[in-house]
Amino acid sequence: MSDDTYWTDDPSELLRVQPGFRLSQQPTDGTPGFAGGKREGEKALARGAGRLADLQEQLFACGREGEPRSVLLVLQAMDTAGKGGIVSHVIGAMNPGGVQYAAFGAPTPEEQAHDFLWRVWREVPAAGRIGVFDRSHYEDVLIGRVRKLAPPDELERRYGAINAFEKELAQSGTTILKVMLHLGKDEQRKRLESRLNRRDKLWKFNPADVDERLHWDDYQEAYQLAFDRTTSAYAPWFVVPADHKWYARVAVQQLLIRALEALGLEWPLPDYDVEEQKRRLAAS
């Protein structure tokens, strides 16, 4: 069972983008549904890690036996919102052998010579795997839109292409979770400042981060539009308040746990005779 000690409400309902959702009205510093503060959050995270690892192993086992199910977690956010921390602390608790992690940076010339979904298709999770997209095809309607990297018609076309792509994935057995880590603008300034003040974090800072920051409102609008156009029953969006790193981590972990539990996985039955194998083994 999912850990109900701290969750007063199901975050997969609470954080889910519903019709009429307005990003601009969502607080970034809340901890909805979680009864506790940072200490309890860290406890819940540690406890959830074992549960998540078990579910992942079961998904993997089912995949090995030919079941087509997989899970895809899409992570989108403004810089410093905590994607990296979620990858380390939530995803990192699972067996790397069962996780397919893909980071999507600025496209290479080869990638640019293809449709925007080409590089994404290559990274979708295989049966039994948990795929994690650190940024994704949504960049093509976020920075793509804000920075006008494609003609207006092409930008418009992409929402439909994304829906068709995600529907195809979902129908072939992939459970899709799309997460936007929702960070406050002031909190971002603090986090960028702290990078500039630490010798061991300077490498994480890029002057382009400030350039992007100057387009903050445009990005918020582009996110709103993406939610309006690509929220679907088969590929829901979740907006996770991210000013508290501990909350964002435990919330995303819980979204994954509940999505995996909803699959109702069972350990696969062996396709060999257990007693016969015991005899062979004893004789070997």
Least separation, in Å, of the C-beta of 16 and a copy of itself? 26
Helix (H, G, I), strand (E, B) or coil at 221: helix
Dist. CA 192–CA 194, nearest whole Å: 5
106 vs 164, which CB is nearer to a copy of itself? 106
> Residue 37 is encoded by which pair of tokens?
């503060």
38 vs 190, which CB is nearer to a copy of itself? 190
Question: Quick check: 88 binds a copy of itself (CB under 8 A)?
Answer: yes
Provide the mask over 96-125, with x wherever binding to a copy of itself is found by CB under 8 A and - wherever it is not. Answer: xx-x-x-x----------------------
Region of 4-12, 35-43, 80-88, 155-163 interacting with a copy of itself (CB under 8 A): 80-88
Region of 25-33, 82-90, 108-116, 139-147 interacting with a copy of itself (CB under 8 A): 82-90
> Residue 45 is encoded by which pair of tokens?
């995270």
| DSSP conformational letter for 91 | G
Question: Quick check: 264 binds a copy of itself (CB under 8 A)?
Answer: no
Backbone angles phi, psi at 108, to 5 degrees: -75, 165
Question: Quick check: 147 binds a copy of itself (CB under 8 A)?
Answer: no
Residue from 210, 217, 261, 262 that binds a copy of itself (CB under 8 A)? 210
Helix (H, G, I), strand (E, B) or coil at 271: coil
Nearest to 12 by CA among 257, 264, 268, 209: 257
Dist. CA 189–CA 236, nearest whole Å: 29
